[in-house]
Amino acid sequence: MTVTVSKEERAWAIRVILCFGLVSLFADMTYEGAHSIIGPFLKDLGATAGQVGIIAGLGEMVAASLRLFSGRFADRTRNYWGIAILGYALNLIVVPALAFAGNWQMAALLVVAERTGKALRGPARDVLLSQATGKVGHGFGFGVHAAMDQTGAVVGPLMMAYAVSKSHHFGPAFVRLGIPAAGALVALLLA
């Protein structure tokens, strides 16, 4: 079955895919950059190796388990944009806030909060992307999005390695993550 798509629908879909691609590029720079140094950062704040493992595991458990509930909530409310914006905002506010965590316990709360944001936004974002890719081709749309997402996942840790090598401290590196975080929020609002 072939579905006819107008030029306006196609233009809208491509804009949404590119905007979400930019959101993912900047967002991945932010949280993949943070994740690349979170272990040594927590150690500097006094956490043991076991505590670092528990914090990372708890964060991932929250991210994985909350998706079921956030996905159902998104379907019930049909507020996909609002939930996606809330999830990204949570992610992108708490990561730069790690620069101001005075102890490993506060940093642990921020790590879990960041993963909570990921769990909130994931299903809603996927629905919005699926709607857009349906107009131009799922393979093309998700391919563009994934390429931009993975670019951010590479650039973020490189950016952090450079920042830490210059200052020899983790705090200023987390503050720098505010720049791609702001870029992600702007791109999300443009979508």
pLDDT in 10s for each residue of the chain, 191 residues: 456 878 998 999 999 999 999 999 999 999 899 999 999 999 999 999 999 999 999 999 998 999 989 999 999 999 999 999 999 889 888 999 999 999 999 999 999 999 999 899 999 999 999 999 999 999 999 999 999 999 999 999 999 999 999 988 888 888 888 899 889 888 888 87
CATH architecture of residue range(s) 7-40+49-190: Up-down Bundle (1.20)
Question: Residue 33: CB partners within 8 Å, gap ≥ 6?
Answer: 95, 156, 157, 159, 160, 173, 177, 180
Tokens 């107008």 map to which residue?
6
Nearest-angstrom CA–CA distance, 103 and 117: 22
- pLDDT value at residue 3: 63
The full set of domain ranges for the chain reads 7-40+49-190
- pLDDT value at residue 161: 93
Q: Which of 122, 88, 94 is nearest to 38 (CA)?
A: 94
Task: Report whether 86 contacts 118 (CB < 8 A).
Answer: no
Question: Residue 173: CB partners within 8 Å, gap ≥ 6?
Answer: 33, 37, 99, 160, 163, 164, 167
